[in-house]
Amino acid sequence: MSAMIRKSLNEPEETRPFADGKGRLDLVNVEAGAVGRATFESGWQWSKHVKPIAKTDSCQFAHTGYIVSGRLKVVMDDGEENEFGAGDLMVVPPGHDAWTVGDEACVIIDWQGMDDYAKR
């Protein structure tokens, strides 16, 4: 029988700050990989605040996440776009840019793509 695991994103095992203080990624690790809580402050954009860390033209991680608060606009490399808000589940394949919409920080719990996201 497997043992239960309890971890808290309020006590992350690792925190990765984004450029210019525009947010952070708090991580806990489980056997299936890292689970992250990303806080994207107002004005955050992947191409401005994570691209310098990732060194790729667009985000090359897939994401499966739940939007806790705020709004996030995602534009795929092929031009497809969508806007996600509190209560939405998002599944986003690799090859995209994203940014917060409005004055409220966007907080996302993400179960996929977090192991190396914004890792220096």
pLDDT of residue 1: 59
Can you give the length of the chain in residues? 120
pLDDT of residue 114: 87
Round to whole Å and give the CA distance between 110 and 59.
14
Average confidence (pLDDT) per 10 residues, the chain, 120 residues? 89 94 95 94 96 93 97 98 98 98 98 87
pLDDT of residue 27: 97
Nearest to 100 by CA among 28, 53, 49: 49
Round to whole Å and give the CA distance between 118 and 29.
16
In a domain, 64, yes or no: yes
Residue 102 tokens, joined: 């409005």
The DSSP symbol for 45 reads B
Total domain count, the chain: 1
In a domain, 2, yes or no: no
pLDDT of residue 32: 86
Q: Which domain holds residue 81?
A: 14-110
In a domain, 93, yes or no: yes
In a domain, 120, yes or no: no
In a domain, 68, yes or no: yes
pLDDT of residue 77: 98
In a domain, 115, yes or no: no
In a domain, 60, yes or no: yes
CATH number, domain of 69, equals 2.60.120.10
In a domain, 117, yes or no: no
